[in-house]
Chains A and B, each alone.
Chain A
Amino acid sequence: MTALLDVRNLGKRFGGFVALENIALSVQPGERVGLIGPNGSGKSTLVNCICGTLRNEAGSVHFDGRALDGFTAHQRTRRGVARTFQLPRPFASLTLAENLRIPLLYTVAARGGVLHTADHIDERCLALLREVGLDSKAHRLPRDLTQVEMRKLELVRAMAAEPKLLIADESMAGLTHSEVEEILNLLKRLNEQGVTVILIEHIMRAVMSFSQRLVVLVSGRKIADGEPNAVVREPEVERAYLGQ
């Protein structure tokens, strides 16, 4: 099967600091991949290179059979790569529903060349918010949300772009046990709908329960890639990430 995402020999430096070195990562359609690594291991840099926020100096990113090199971040989103941010970045002056209008107007409409009426877009926004239990706050501003609601908004805004691949960058950071479960269930539901998900997370319980495959980065290098239970038992992973 052709990989949905194919990262080949990716390299990124910040001055003299090597953030990513020769990273290869292949993700199949419909797969649930966990990406872990200690702070500073290059996880977010890898996400930024895949999503076009940062330009990689070496290697290439292929998505859905096409090279993404040279594409800007918004062009990659339109091609089906959506992401969330470590720290939620809502559009503060727009209501929750309006936050969702943005990907619908700028990604879904642009991608499909379909004409959307305002009513159709409004209905879609409310349906998406209902899916994560935020429909009652559709007309509120993001500042009125709790932390878990903010995380949900971040996820549902990425979902509104109708992506083929969703990269969730620490979407559960700072949440309680039950809130983590809520987000996990949401990601699983999304995956069941056919969306490929890469989960970057420090909460091992969540990563292990979610991932079909686990990739480990340390100091900008990939040190493990495979079945989660086998990966966490690898001596190099234990040494570098989980401790002795």
Chain B
Amino acid sequence: MRTHIFFIVSLIIGACVYGLAATLGNDYYFFAGYVVLQYVVLATAWNILGGYCGYVNFGSAAFFAIGAYSTVALYRFHPMPIPVDVALGGVASGIVGLGTGYLTLRMRGAFFAIATLALAVVFETLVVNWDYVGGSRGAYIVRPETIAPFGSYIKYLFLIMLVLAIGSITVARLIERSRLGYGFATIRDDELAAEASGVPTLRLKLVATTISGALMGMAGAPFPYYIGYLQPSSAFGLDYAVNSIAMPLIGGTTSWVGPLIGAILLGSLQQIATVTISSAVNLLIVGFLLVGFVIVAPNGITGLVQKYIPHRPLGQVGRRRVKADAPEATP
């Protein structure tokens, strides 16, 4: 399916999801749906670096929080429409992603993972000591009760997150089916062989960290309006780091579908558990599911499905005109 058709179909499905939630006549579904969609964006963003390139990022919460705190900083300076916050949050997180890439991408495996974990700790410490955004006390964001033409504000937030989810999935799918996606796959498989085949691995990894970081920041930008009171422990929560890794792993990391399935499955289960048992069991659910999938389906749900269907035939992927790189300058 061509990208623009995919995007239109996604918009239609998104409209149906919104319509379904609206017909249920209870704002709780928008509250719960917002969280699930937020995880769709986070899981998809994580998968661009972690799944496509094979670089496990434990610092998702940092990128999410950068988006959230950029909204708080803007709110303190001059409140802006949320789409502007989302765009600026994405830019801020993307820049941090690029910087993180420069600092850490010569590391691999556990070393890279630990470095990203350290990034989250560093940024949390910075925010705790930054009074302008509330520091350790936290910051209140007063949101209006209603907004035209949506009615309640949560419907508006839900819609924004729905658009972000569709956007991030489209971006991930576009990457997967492009020259960039092939480049990412070679990085995951063998960086040395990739370089020997002409793949500029460092540049591609920087692209991956930037896109991944930007999408995570965009997911975090509306969060202060959702939660109303933002403090470092909620923005840098363990849930975001764990879920954004667990969801793609459970859904499958080699395709855009995996994080989507994982996020919907795990996110919905957590929302159900929150209202029926307690939110305290959310991470327990993740733990049990992860252990189960590692044993039963180490390549996730999509991996399990792919086991029983043949590999995609040549030409199905990336059937488009490929533009050559600009000639390189002599160093």
Q: Which residues of A contact B (CB under 8 A)?
A: 51-53, 66, 70-75, 77-78, 82-83, 85, 89-95, 97-98, 101-103, 105-107, 109-110, 112-119, 121-122, 125-126, 138-141, 157-158, 161
Contacts and interface: CB of A to CB of B under 8 A. Distances in A.
Nearest to A121: B322
B193 A113 contact: no
Interface stretch (B16-24, B104-112, B134-142, B310-318): B310-318
A75 B322 CA distance: 19
Interface in B294-331: 310-311, 313-315, 317-325, 327-328, 330-331
A93 B325 contact: no
B327 A113 contact: yes
A133 to B, nearest CB: 17
Contacts of B189: 90-94
Nearest to A167: B196
Contacts of B331: 70-71, 75
A115 B321 CA distance: 7
A142 B225 CA distance: 50
B195 interface: yes
B255 to A, nearest CB: 11
Nearest to A81: B196
B319 A110 contact: no
Contact of B193 (A91, A95, A98): A91
A77 B197 contact: yes
B197 A53 contact: no
Contacts of B330: 66
Contacts of B327: 113
Contact of A89 (B182, B190, B320): B190
B173 interface: no
B198 A102 contact: yes
A90 B199 CA distance: 14
A141 B310 CA distance: 11
A121 B313 CA distance: 14
Given A89-B192, A138-B314, A139-B314, A117 B321 contact: yes
B179 interface: yes
B193 A106 contact: no
A110 B314 contact: no
Given A106-B198, A109-B325, A94 B182 contact: yes
Nearest to A67: B330
A118 B179 contact: no
Contacts of A126: 314
Given A51-B196, A53-B192, A119 B325 contact: no
A106 B314 contact: no
Nearest to A118: B319
Contacts of B194: 74, 91, 102
Given A75-B328, A78-B198, A78-B328, A89 B193 contact: yes
Contacts of A141: 311
Given A118-B318, A161-B198, A95 B190 contact: no
Given A110-B325, A139-B313, A90 B188 contact: no
B321 A106 contact: no
Given A53-B192, A74-B197, A98-B314, 9 more contacts: A73-B196, A78-B328, A94-B182, A97-B314, A102-B182, A105-B182, A110-B198, A110-B325, A115-B324
24 contacts: A72-B202, A73-B192, A73-B196, A74-B194, A74-B195, A74-B199, A82-B196, A85-B192, A85-B196, A94-B186, A102-B186, A102-B198, A102-B199, A103-B198, A106-B198, A107-B198, A112-B324, A116-B321, A118-B319, A119-B315, A122-B314, A126-B314, A138-B314, A139-B310
A75 B200 CA distance: 8
Given A105-B179, A106-B183, A115-B321, A53 B195 contact: yes
A109 B324 contact: yes
Contacts of A106: 179, 183, 197-200
A98 B182 contact: yes
Nearest to B200: A74
B315 A118 contact: yes
Given A70-B331, A75-B328, A109-B324, A95 B192 contact: no
B47 interface: no
A81 B313 CA distance: 30
Top 6 A-B residue pairs of the complex, sorted by shortest distance between their CB atoms: A107-B198, A73-B195, A106-B198, A89-B193, A110-B325, A70-B331
B195 A77 contact: yes
